[in-house]
Amino acid sequence: MAPKQKRPTKIEEITGAVHAAMELAAEARGLVKAYGTLFEALLNILKSKSVLSASDIKGVFYVAAAMIDELQPQHDIQVAAQAEMRGLIERIASNFGIEVPPPGQTGVQRTH
């Protein structure tokens, strides 16, 4: 007869779930950075080929920031994700010499 395996305690279950969540968050953060790099490269290509003007690129960043600002996070994790996305847009915009206005001040009105 095989030895009876010990069932994990609640603390062990919670610790395992927290560890798994932290790994997923790290993977998600890596994906966000990768998509940010791809987004920046694509904008650079479109700008260098004169497909997008400087004004167009500024508009892209303002609209992206406005979209992120419209999110309504329900808990702290979503608040952090929203701040991370906003920060990414601001960092990429600064690489183009564009300063994105603070949240709620982009002047972009979106219709749904």
Predicted TM-score (pTM) above 0.85: no
Query: Are 84 and 29 spatial neighbours (Cβ–Cβ below 8 Å)?
Result: yes
Q: Would you call 53 helix, strand, or coil by DSSP?
A: coil
Residue 104 lies in a domain: no
Query: Residue 75 belongs to what domain range?
Result: 11-95
Q: Tell me what pLDDT residue 33 has.
A: 87
Tokens for 27, please give them.
């993977």
User: Per the domain annotation, does 103 fall within a domain?
Assistant: no
Question: Crossing angle for the helix pair 10-48 and 54-70, nearest 10 degrees?
Answer: 160
Residue keyed to tokens 């603390």: 11
**pLDDT per 10-residue tile (average), the chain, 112 residues:** 74 90 85 90 95 94 92 88 92 96 79 56
112 in any annotated domain: no
Q: How many structural domains compose the chain?
A: 1
Token pair 């395996």 in the structure block, residue: 5
Asked if residue 53 belongs to a domain, the reply is yes
Whether residue 100 is contained in a domain is answered as no
